[in-house]
Every structure is written in C-alpha cells, then in structure tokens.
Structure 1
Amino acid sequence: MSGALFRSDWRNIRRYAVPARMVAECAEARQRGDWRAACEAARIDVDIDPDLLVEAPVAHLAPDLLRWHLPRVLHGSTEFAARRLHLLVPDSPVGPDTVLLTVRSADSAHGSQRLRLGAVRGAAVLLDGPAAPFPAYFWDVRSIGRLPAALGSGSAASDRRAAFAAAGFEFTAGQDDKWRSADRNRVLTPLDPWRLAHDTRWLAARLGERAWTVSDNSYWQPNAFRYLTVFVDGDTTRVSWTTTEGRPCIPIDLVCYSADQELIRQGQLAPGALHPLVRDVLYPDAPAEPFVPTDGEVVRVRCNGVWHAVEARLGRLDPLAHTLDERRRERALQAFGGATGGCFAVERMWYGGLGRLPRRLREYRAGLWQRLIHGGTRTLCELLDAGLDPYLRDGTGGTLIHRIAAFDHREMLPRLLAAGVGLDTVDKEGYTALHRTVQQLGPADVIMTLVDAGADLSIRNRDGETVLDHVRKAFRYGDRLRPDLRAALVHLREQAP
C-alpha cells in the first residue's frame, strides 16, 4: 500500500482527491476561525455531541489536511475504504476524560467520499474497539512540523530484517523462519520500519500503550505469518511475530513508505503540488504548482484511410471531421446493427460500446470522473450547468446514475432523469444502477430511492442474474449485513412481482 507499489493510484489521488479549490476554501475558513465552514469545504459532515463539542480540539483541525493523509483503497481506486474509523490522537497525553475527535468513512464502497467527524471521551474506541490511530501531524495545524520526522526513511530496502535493525528494532529470538517467510512472500514490502518505529513510540507516549499490532488481513499472505507486534519499552523497541491479533492495532497502510516522497522521487509529482501545509514543512522553497485539470482533449484517429481529429470536452465526444448528416446516417446504421469504424467506432465506445478507446481519451475521461467523484454534488452541478454531457459513461459503461451514490442522490437523480438518462440503462456487464448498487452492498438509502423511482427488477446481466439474485446473495452475510441495508433489501424484495 505504499507509493512504490501503487504510484498510479497515488498520482491520481494527489491530482483529484483534494482539489485546489477545497484547499483554498479550507484555508480561508481557518483564517477567520470558522472550523465548521472548513469541514463543509472539505466535504466532512459534523456529528459531535454538544456535550463533547466544548472540549473537542476542533479549532486546530485542518480538514483538508486530514483528507490529504487518510488511507485509500488503492488497487485501481482513489476512494476511501468503506467503514473505516480513525481516532485523531492529539500531540499531548491522553487521559480517560480527554475528548478526542474521530473520522469515519461511508458505509459502502464506491459511495460518497464525504466523511463524518465525531468525538468520543477517552481512547476506548481504539484500545478496545475498531478504530485506527491517526497522529496529530496528519490533521492538527499545530503539529505539522513533526511531519518530516514521521514520514520515514524513503525508498524500500530489499533486506527487510536489516531495514528493521537500522530503524532501531530488536528482534524476538527464535523467529528467523518467520522473517525468511516474510521476505520470500514480500509481505512487508510496503511497510516502512522507520515510520513504524516513530509512530509506535509517539503513540505509546501519548496513549500509554506499549504493545502495538500491525495488521491488514487483505495484505498478509497465507502460510507466512499472522501479525507483527511492536513492543515499546523506553528507548527499546522490540518486534515480534504473533499468532493472534492484539489491541491496539495499527493498519499497515498508516505506516507505509510515503506516497508523496515516492512520487516526487520518481518525478511523477512536483514538490509544489503538495498540500500547502505539507509543502511548507517538507519543501519550503518550492513554488506552488497546483494541478489544473484539462478542460478537453483532441486526438487523431484513423478513419477511412485518413487521420481525423476527435474532440472530447465536458464529457461530449465530437467527431470534428464529419457533418451532422454523416453523424445521423452512422447513428441510424448503428441502431440497425450495422458495423462502424474510425471516428464513429470511437464515438460508440465512448458511449458504452465494447472496445478500447485511444489512450488519451481514456485518460481524459478517467480524470473527468475523478473530478466528479471527489468534487461531489457541487462539482457535478457546476459542470452540468456548464454543459457536461449527462449521458457521460465511465470505463465500465456505467452512467452517472450508476455512480449516483457518490452524490446527493435525492438532488441529482431527478435532475439526471429529467435530462433523459435512463434509470435502467445497463453497463458493459449488463448491470443497471440498482443492480450494481445491490451487488456492491451499496448505501441503503440509494437502493430505496432507485426502487421507489421504478427501477426494473427483472433485467438480467451478462451472467443471467437479476437484482433479486444478488439480494439472495446479500442475505447470505447473515448478521454481518448492515441493518439499514437489510431493511432496504427487504423493501426491494417486496416490490417484486
């Protein structure tokens, strides 16, 4: 989960996930002391008990900095992992009565990128529960100066045990086979021992906990080991393999090699493109270079033996070399199943047809979708007002309704339907928006809204499965199924003929 392993994901995250407008609006709100406005600019909902709010350290929170540093799904995604709860640990000792902030991601994957800010008294949610620690230098403007020391050593070393020794770790005796197995399976490749040493010592000093377990079951390889535990005792830090998960835990994606430093080292990110607060402490002399998305793209495609220009702008594809009559004739031919080529084949693929678009068009479309997903409802409305094609498709052939969970669906669904986007349009795999949302165990309120809007339950995907088939699969999760999702699926099933 390091920048070294997922550079393309992190490059897109740095381009789109915390846009320059968000950073500027958050900075302005902080300057006038309006932390709520800063949270809204950073797409963070506030859900703090009024009794805790008076003691919560909200005045020093930089919501955009928090958003910059939170872990992501990766593996081709720039989004937050679903149902992740982080405890924001301050740069001071934490007692049982200390009020701490929490931040939670959405309940489902491919959903809204809005976060929810809460507060708890004491660190029990971390020590006894599901939360992951998030140190102050990732979110508190007073602690950002600690970031250079916290970001670790840089590039990954091939000899992992030697790297741990260089970071000051001592080793539990009799575990040589575990280390050899870990090296052979490359399961520790993303973990930065220097960063792990720094964070465990820092957390131990603030929370008083001396044993920290590093775990991420999605990343550990079978038959290699289970858990890595760090024991902090004064200036001594010892590392040991264990067979059971301990508490508290540090997810491995919090102690990986720095994605920012890796991207800069590889020449894929300019120091000036970092978040301003990060740039000022890591590269204080670098001029600001915020990423500016392109408005459009023009590519040349081979058409009837010659090269033609095709322009993509605001989600619309325009075969510039062809007249309106030629375009109508080709589209009529497609409607009757006729074969198309050249510019019109590219146009067909742009709007969900099978095939592979030219690389620059794929990149432009992917970037446009990233702007929409991370900009949310506000950005989508602005671009629609500016002429964005409401029939825009993504790389899977999905429409804006397929990704409606990323936006305020109560506001956007009526607008998209009024613009002519089909509620039951299928993607390349034959999934409707409802079908895909159920298959991904998406937000319950989105499922309810699509059902109540009249989504067709009988459409089969390319595997011959209907929405109800995926409802049956979902119920196999039993008690692990979210209660709100269970209620939504029951409501869906009641609408079946």
Structure 2
Amino acid sequence: MASHFANDLPPHLLMWQRVREYAVPPSMIETATARHAAGDWAGACAAARVDADLDLRAVRDRHGTELTSRLRADLRRLAPDLLRWHMPRIAPDGRLRPGLTIPLAQYGGYGDRPSVQLVVRTPPARADAGQRMSLSLWEGPGDSTWGHHPHPHPDRRFRLDLHRHLWDRTRSGELARRCGSPDQDSPWAKGSWAAEAELLLRAERRPRGAFTVRLGARGRAVLELVAPDDSHVPTFRPLPYDLPPQEAAALPVLPEAAARLLPDLELLRSGLITVGRLHPLVAEALTAVGSPAQGPAPAGPAPEPHDPHRVRCRGETHRIALRDGALTAIDHHPAELRREELLVALGGPALPCLRAIDAVHRNPEALPAVRERLGHGDVSGALAVVEGLLGPAAMLRDGPLRQELESAAARRVDHGLFRAGLVAVHPAATAQRPRLDRHTPAALRSKRGSRPRPRTGLL
C-alpha cells in the first residue's frame, strides 16, 4: 500500500485492520468450528479462549428445566469465535474493551425471580493477558458471584441480546441487513437507527418515544422515534425539548452494535481487507446479498527473504539457515563457530555471520508481528513465528524479543489471580492519598480539584 494512501486513512480503520489480522486467527476459527460440529460447545469456547463459568446442573436446580433447556440450546448455537470477532475494542491497540459485562440472551426467571441473562465478560485492563473472556449467568441485582469484577451488571450500551446475528451461527445471515449501508462516508449507521430503535423500545416494553445514542466518548444525542400510526415505518428526529441530565441518562440507549457501521464494511470499502480474509460466517452473510463494494486491493506483505539468508562475511557471501532446529551459519565449520563464540565471550569481535544471528535472536524484523499476536492473546501464533525464525531448539538471548515473551508470561499470572478472586481491586486503589486541609498549598489543592477523569478511547 502506498504510504500516502495509508496516511490518509482514519486511525481506527488501521487499527481494525490489525485486529482482523491478529485478534481471531484462522487456526482459532478452524478449531472452534470443528469442535462445534462435533457437538462440543465447551470445547469450541476453549478454542476461542472463552472460559465457560456455567454449571448446567446448578442452573437446573435453581431455575428449572425449561430455562436450562433454552440456555443449552443457545450454547449449542453459540459461535465463540464469531463473538470474539464482533466484540467491542479500544484504541490504539484494538484489544478487547476491558471490564465489560455484555448480555447475550435473556430468559424469564423461575417463579417470582428476576430475569436471568447469559452474559460474556471481559477482564479489567490490569488482567487482560491472553485477551480471554468468560461466559456466565447473571441472575439479577443480588447476584454476587462476580463481585470482584469492576462492572458485573449487564451493560446497556454494549449489549448483544438484540443482535444475536453477531454470535448465533444460525442467525449470522441477518448481518447483511443489519450492518448499515456500506456506501456512506460516516462510521455511524444512521440509516438503520429507526428500525433498531424500534426493536430496542419494544424489548424495553416502551411505546415509541425518546432514546439516546452515544456519539463517542463524551457526545450523546437524544432522539425521538415517531410515526403517524402503526402502519407507517417509524423515523427518528431530535427531541424538540431539552431533558434534565438525570432523565436523559435513564432513557434507553441504542446499542453500539446498532449505532455504528460494521467495521468490516469500512475495511472492504477502503481496500484494507478482502472478503477472503473475513470470518467465514461474516463473508457468507455479506456475499449472500451481493458482493460488497470493495476498494483497491491491499498490497500484500513484503516478500520474505528466502532460506537461506545471505550475509557478507570475510569478503564472501555466506548462508544462514535453520539446521537441526536452530539458526546457524552453515558455511562455517562447527568447530570454527565454537572458537569464534568463545572469542566473543572473551570480548573479541564477532564474525558478521554471528552478528547477524545475534541480531535475529535479540530484535528480529518480525518482532512487531510477535508483539501484536501476544497483545491479542495468540501465544501459539507468536511462538510459531519465533520458531520459524530461530528454530524450535533455539535458546533466546537477552533483548526485546525475550522481554516481550517474558512479559506476556508474567501478565498471565495477573489474569489467573483475577480469575481466582485473589486480587479484588487494583493495588493503586488502596494507596493512601494525602488529605486536603487548610495547610495544603493552594497550587496543590487546585491541581487535585481540576484533575480530569481518565477515559478509555472509544472506537
């Protein structure tokens, strides 16, 4: 891709391009699909790095057989890899939006109990190693099962119970008519807001009326769904009067999945992705109603150097290649290499071949790809890249590559502690803050009072 073309693209599209390349690798889709075909929904969740915190026997004892049957049917229809594909993400790295509880389906409570919801949760940012998600039940306001989660209650803005086509493989074909118009320049799917708002208000058991749409991190639009009568298609318009902030906050919120255009359509229109690189269910849904408009085909990756690599060493061209599971200079005798390595250990100069091997071990050209895979939790993919470069028998040396792998391993411990409930709050939350009184300098008081609340970038 030409550099000037890439610089003209919005940053969120470049982020989504990296997400589509690394966040849901083809190996995950293939494994999850194979396990689902075998009837193993739990195995499919494990392949998509989704922890199933569900005990169907306990659910049957608490809520009855009917609710359990509906839950089991939804679990069998669940495509966890498709769910991961459509999960909300944050800038700039495109990781899962942390600390969310997203409802997937709602079930009536047993007896006089409140409604039960199937939810998927994302861990807080401090424990997001592996980018794992968890599947569980939310049994009402008194449910304290996930008390250590920062936001255990279902989120009104990020909800997928009204968008089953984003996780239910039997309804994925609805994506084409509910993803917005692909020929608009705005990332907002305003053409479908009226229809989606009607579904929202119907689910909230409200007549046609006011609702809100979150426009980014701070913006909000208060709209009204209107129609002359039930025989006319409803439309929306800005609310003709201002509401107090408390009343506006209590209005139904149009889900983010309905408010925004599907990122895949924007990527196709910009030429940053092809249909063949989409999730199979997404590609099938978008091509079933006609081929979506595509921009110029993205430039392929730079051609990788062929094996063996070639290095100028002592006035000659020498080869470096994988032999016996490790990267080695094949034009040097093993005894000579051992002598040269000993000379380097004693402080002497290294051969160009050995310098090239050392550079690949410490800071290879593929380090950004390894870092992206580790950031999205694809440890096996990152290790496959490393083994392809250095060989399975290589010993990592100190440098950026080893630091990235060690950091990823250490962060998995934080996620395990969070899952076990051993770290209920962030350590910084328990730190003692200095008390403000009349002896506090005025400059410090004004600085503490005017500190803005940090916000996570919204896509």
Q: Distance in 1 between matches of 2:258 and 2:318?
A: 48
1:34 aligns with 2:40: yes
User: Per the alignment, do residues 338 and 238 of structure 1 end up closer, same or farther by CA in structure 2, a change over 3 Å counting?
Assistant: farther
**Paired residues for 1:91-102 under 5 Å:** 98-102=115-119
Instruction: Name the counterpart of 2:19.
Output: 13
Superposition deviation, residue 37 in structure 1: 2.3
Instruction: Name the counterpart of 1:263.
Output: 267
User: Per the alignment, do residues 243 and 22 of structure 1 end up closer, same or farther by CA in structure 2, a change over 3 Å counting?
Assistant: farther
Q: Does the CA contact (< 8 Å) of 1:195 and 1:256 recur in 2?
A: no
Instruction: Name the counterpart of 2:179.
Output: 151
Superposition deviation, residue 147 in structure 1: 0.7
User: Per the alignment, do residues 324 and 406 of structure 1 end up closer, same or farther by CA in structure 2, a change over 3 Å counting?
Assistant: farther
User: Per the alignment, do residues 269 and 313 of structure 1 end up closer, same or farther by CA in structure 2, a change over 3 Å counting?
Assistant: farther
Range 13-22 or range 230-239, more displaced: 230-239
1:88 aligns with 2:72: no
Instruction: Name the counterpart of 2:75.
Output: 58
Per-residue CA deviation, residues 393-451 of structure 1 (Å, 9 max, x unaligned), is 886762422101565x5xxxxxxxxxxxxxxxxxxxxxxxxxxxxxxxx5473999xxx
Instruction: Name the counterpart of 1:200.
Output: 197
The secondary structure found in structure 1 opposite 2:19 is helix
Match of 1:46 among 32, 47, 52: 52
Q: Distance in 1 between matches of 2:258 and 2:316?
A: 52
Superposition deviation, residue 133 in structure 1: 0.9
User: Per the alignment, do residues 256 and 394 of structure 1 end up closer, same or farther by CA in structure 2, a change over 3 Å counting?
Assistant: farther
User: Per the alignment, do residues 243 and 192 of structure 1 end up closer, same or farther by CA in structure 2, a change over 3 Å counting?
Assistant: farther
User: Per the alignment, do residues 14 and 320 of structure 1 end up closer, same or farther by CA in structure 2, a change over 3 Å counting?
Assistant: farther
The secondary structure found in structure 1 opposite 2:90 is coil
Match of 1:445 among 417, 426, 442: 417
Q: Does the CA contact (< 8 Å) of 2:198 and 2:225 recur in 1?
A: yes
1:133 aligns with 2:159: yes
User: Per the alignment, do residues 145 and 476 of structure 1 end up closer, same or farther by CA in structure 2, a change over 3 Å counting?
Assistant: same
Range 46-55 or range 134-143, more displaced: 46-55
Q: Distance in 2 between matches of 1:123 and 1:233?
A: 33
Superposition deviation, residue 346 in structure 1: 5.2
Counterpart code for 2:33: A
Per-residue CA deviation, residues 81-119 of structure 1 (Å, 9 max, x unaligned), is 221221125799xx9955432111123355122210112
Instruction: Name the counterpart of 1:212.
Output: 212
- Tell me the matched-pair count: 367
Q: Does the CA contact (< 8 Å) of 1:25 and 1:38 recur in 2?
A: yes
Counterpart code for 2:221: L
Counterpart code for 1:261: L
The secondary structure found in structure 2 opposite 1:387 is coil
Q: Does the CA contact (< 8 Å) of 2:194 and 2:235 recur in 1?
A: no
Instruction: Name the counterpart of 1:437.
Output: none
Q: Does the CA contact (< 8 Å) of 2:361 and 2:401 recur in 1?
A: no
Instruction: Name the counterpart of 1:180.
Output: none
Q: Distance in 2 between matches of 1:257 and 1:307?
A: 53
**Paired residues for 1:313-462 under 5 Å:** 347-352=357-362, 361-362=365-366, 365-371=367-373, 387=392, 389=394, 391=396, 398-404=403-409, 442-443=414-415, 445=417
Counterpart code for 2:75: V
Match of 1:23 among 25, 29, 39: 29
Q: Distance in 1 between matches of 2:86 and 2:221?
A: 23
Per-residue CA deviation, residues 372-398 of structure 1 (Å, 9 max, x unaligned), is 565656667888998174628886762
User: Per the alignment, do residues 474 and 60 of structure 1 end up closer, same or farther by CA in structure 2, a change over 3 Å counting?
Assistant: same
1:275 aligns with 2:279: yes
The secondary structure found in structure 2 opposite 1:88 is strand
Q: Does the CA contact (< 8 Å) of 2:88 and 2:97 recur in 1?
A: yes
User: Per the alignment, do residues 335 and 378 of structure 1 end up closer, same or farther by CA in structure 2, a change over 3 Å counting?
Assistant: same
The secondary structure found in structure 2 opposite 1:228 is strand
Superposition deviation, residue 136 in structure 1: 1.0
The secondary structure found in structure 2 opposite 1:133 is coil
Instruction: Name the counterpart of 1:495.
Output: none
Q: Distance in 2 between matches of 1:208 and 1:307?
A: 76
Superposition deviation, residue 212 in structure 1: 3.1
Match of 1:103 among 91, 109, 120: 120
Q: Distance in 2 between matches of 1:264 and 1:334?
A: 52
User: Per the alignment, do residues 66 and 387 of structure 1 end up closer, same or farther by CA in structure 2, a change over 3 Å counting?
Assistant: same
Range 29-38 or range 247-256, more displaced: 247-256
Instruction: Name the counterpart of 1:238.
Output: 237
Which ranges in structure 2 are unaligned for 5 or more consecutive residues? Answer: 1-8, 144-150, 228-233, 292-300, 421-425, 434-459
Q: Does the CA contact (< 8 Å) of 2:50 and 2:133 recur in 1?
A: yes
Counterpart code for 1:142: T
Q: Which has the higher contact order (CA 8 A, sep 6+)?
A: 2
1:227 aligns with 2:224: no
Q: Distance in 1 between matches of 2:325 and 2:272?
A: 26
User: Per the alignment, do residues 267 and 446 of structure 1 end up closer, same or farther by CA in structure 2, a change over 3 Å counting?
Assistant: same
Q: Does the CA contact (< 8 Å) of 2:13 and 2:267 recur in 1?
A: yes
Q: Distance in 2 between matches of 1:352 and 1:313?
A: 19
Q: Distance in 2 between matches of 1:315 and 1:229?
A: 62
Q: Does the CA contact (< 8 Å) of 2:101 and 2:119 recur in 1?
A: yes
Superposition deviation, residue 66 in structure 1: 0.6
TM-score of the aligned structures, taking structure 1 as reference length: 0.57
1:113 aligns with 2:96: no
Q: Does the CA contact (< 8 Å) of 1:376 and 1:406 recur in 2?
A: no
User: Per the alignment, do residues 193 and 23 of structure 1 end up closer, same or farther by CA in structure 2, a change over 3 Å counting?
Assistant: same
Superposition deviation, residue 71 in structure 1: 1.9
Superposition deviation, residue 297 in structure 1: 5.3
Q: Distance in 2 between matches of 1:212 and 1:37?
A: 39
